[in-house]
Chain A
Amino acid sequence: MPDTSVMIRDTAKKLLVEKRVDLIIGFERGTLPLRSTPCFVRRSVEAEKLIWNASCENNLARYLRKRKEKVGIVAKGCDTRSIISLIKEKQVAREQVFIIGVPCHGMIDRRKIEAKLDGREILEADEVSEKVILKGHDFTEIVAKEEFLHNSCNTCNYRNPVIYDVLIGDKVEENRGIDEYGEVKEFEAQSADRRWQSFTNEVSKCIRCYACRNACPLCYCQECFVDSSQPRWIGKTTNLSDTSIFHIVRAFHTAGRCVDCGACDRACPMGIDIRKLTKKIEKDVKELFHYQAGVNLEDVPPLATFNLGDPQEFIK
């Protein structure tokens, strides 16, 4: 079977040459080990730089909105779920997007590898099937990819694209036997004090850079509540009261929309466990409203429906 990168390139070239799309959004080689970077290809010759590997971690659906041209997008399972959410929210028209679906084995969390290396810098990283060979100043280490995947990849049930116009390669086996909400359940089992403590411990690291918000394909409010000056909902400091409100309200705003792609977690430079909140809300929505965002184009989002039978136990 040909290499995934090669197949993506060939598909992209064909789409551009046949003028079926004006732009391909994909990944190219990054400047650091274990880094790929989003790239925008408009001419077929440039398609040569497209790649695929376990560091294509960004959710490219973030770049789809407000485009006039027809776009081809390289999309993992989670990315296609975001695209579905965007289509449902009428931010993207289905016919405007050509989805180049890529089955995914999970993306590497380089911070986990860095933590393992404890300060030794990775100068070179090569992916060889299930392993990564890491080279530094005076060391070589071989690690298994699956031990260093992003948290959202570890609990992912949609490794294969949910919708696509073309699928690159064969479908992969979905995660089996994992408890998607294992961590959430542990969190829920804690006392309110413990939960609050662990939440505040996380958000106290926040520097209000908004990388989480800006990396999220679904955080597209024309004016985010944190930026509103009339009225002003929230202070601008990094005091715990302000950072808490930011993260709580953002999490709530993703209810029934978040597809748990992990883009917020990956973007956060301070390593805040942002998913702890969003995943919990995702679980609640699933349990209370039997809805999961981005798994098909048909289900109506809970915030867009009215149903007399809605559970309302939370109204006390």
Chain B
Amino acid sequence: MKNPYLPLAMRTEKIVIETDDKNIKTFSLSFLNEEDESSFNYLPGQFVQLSVLSEGEAPFGIASSPTQPGELEFTVNKIGVLTTALHNLEKGAIIGIRGPLGNCFPIEAFEGKNIVIVSGGFAFTTLRSLLKYILYEENRSKFGNVTVIYGARRPGLLLYKDELKEWEVRPDLDVHLTVDRADDGWRGKVGVVPNVIKEVAPSPENAYTVVCGPPIMIKLTLPVLRQLGFPPERIILSLEMKMKCGIGMCGRCNIGNKYVCKDGPIFTLAHLNELSGEYKPGGRNFETKK
């Protein structure tokens, strides 16, 4: 019987500082044992529990794509005990990992469809996994048009800047970057994500949209997407909640009768609306019922 609480050992191969405030770093990890690597099969949207022994464990979405074998990447925002411990690590440090946990983006359903990726700030991590997965040479033709609308408070807080540059010039990708406050040299849009969605007005025709961002962005974005004609069944969200076990036992991450760790973290808006009204970003229901 596999012990679901035992972390596997990974070595920190690379640490990249993502943002100009140095609060967000991306860690590239490789498995210490080969058999661990071969048994770790994941898809975009899934998460893991990362351990720094003596400091504890916390959940992180996987930021890399399974199409880049041999390494796993996690983007970590320094905010609490464990994230601070991670930020203090240096290259070569050993980190514990449990997973992959949770469900993944409905990739099979995405096939043959146009995909609109909407994200704000730090929440872009698992969407980067999805994007890399879609853009992978052998996968790209399975999906239709891909639109990315990604914003941050200011340019220095955007993640994966080198990749964003590459993506902006790709002909098979429609990228719209936006910031709340521009600085010198910013050539993207200025304005909050919901407004940029209105401006870009992606077509709901044959499309799915995937939304990850801070609660206030979600709250303001959902009405815009609904107005554009995206049905709740085609609006995909990735949720966050405090987690401990990651396997639906410790009892804290439920929204109604579903556990974000086990039944999520990926839900359709339609599904969330069916659940009891517990998840209310910005203190309000996803959709005000008429």
Contacts and interface: CB of A to CB of B under 8 A. Distances in A.
Direct contact of A and B (CB under 8 A): yes
Interface of A: 229-230, 232
A240 B136 CA distance: 56
Interface of B: 80-81, 84
B179 to A, nearest CB: 31
Contacts of A232: 81
Majority-rule SS of B interface residues? helix
Contacts of B80: 229-230
Majority-rule SS of A interface residues? loop
A229 B56 CA distance: 11
Contacts of A230: 80-81, 84
B98 to A, nearest CB: 20
A232 B81 CA distance: 9
A232 B80 CA distance: 12
Contacts, number: 6
Nearest to B56: A229
Nearest to B84: A230
A230 B80 CA distance: 8
- Considering the complex of A and B, which 6 residue pairs feature the smallest CB-CB distances, nearest first? A229-B81, A230-B81, A229-B80, A230-B80, A232-B81, A230-B84
6 contacts: A229-B80, A229-B81, A230-B80, A230-B81, A230-B84, A232-B81
A225 B164 CA distance: 44
A184 to B, nearest CB: 40
A236 to B, nearest CB: 11
A230 B84 CA distance: 10
Nearest to A229: B81
A222 to B, nearest CB: 18
Nearest to B55: A232
Contacts of B84: 230
A141 to B, nearest CB: 43
Contacts of B81: 229-230, 232
Nearest to A232: B81
A232 B85 CA distance: 14
A133 B81 CA distance: 56
A229 B58 CA distance: 13
Nearest to B81: A229
Contacts of A229: 80-81
A129 to B, nearest CB: 49
A146 B84 CA distance: 57
A229 B81 CA distance: 7
A232 B84 CA distance: 14
A27 B68 CA distance: 66
A230 B81 CA distance: 7
A38 to B, nearest CB: 27
A235 to B, nearest CB: 12
A229 B82 CA distance: 10
B81 to A, nearest CB: 5
A233 to B, nearest CB: 13
A107 B81 CA distance: 45
B85 to A, nearest CB: 11
A36 B107 CA distance: 58
B55 to A, nearest CB: 10
A119 B71 CA distance: 63
B54 to A, nearest CB: 11
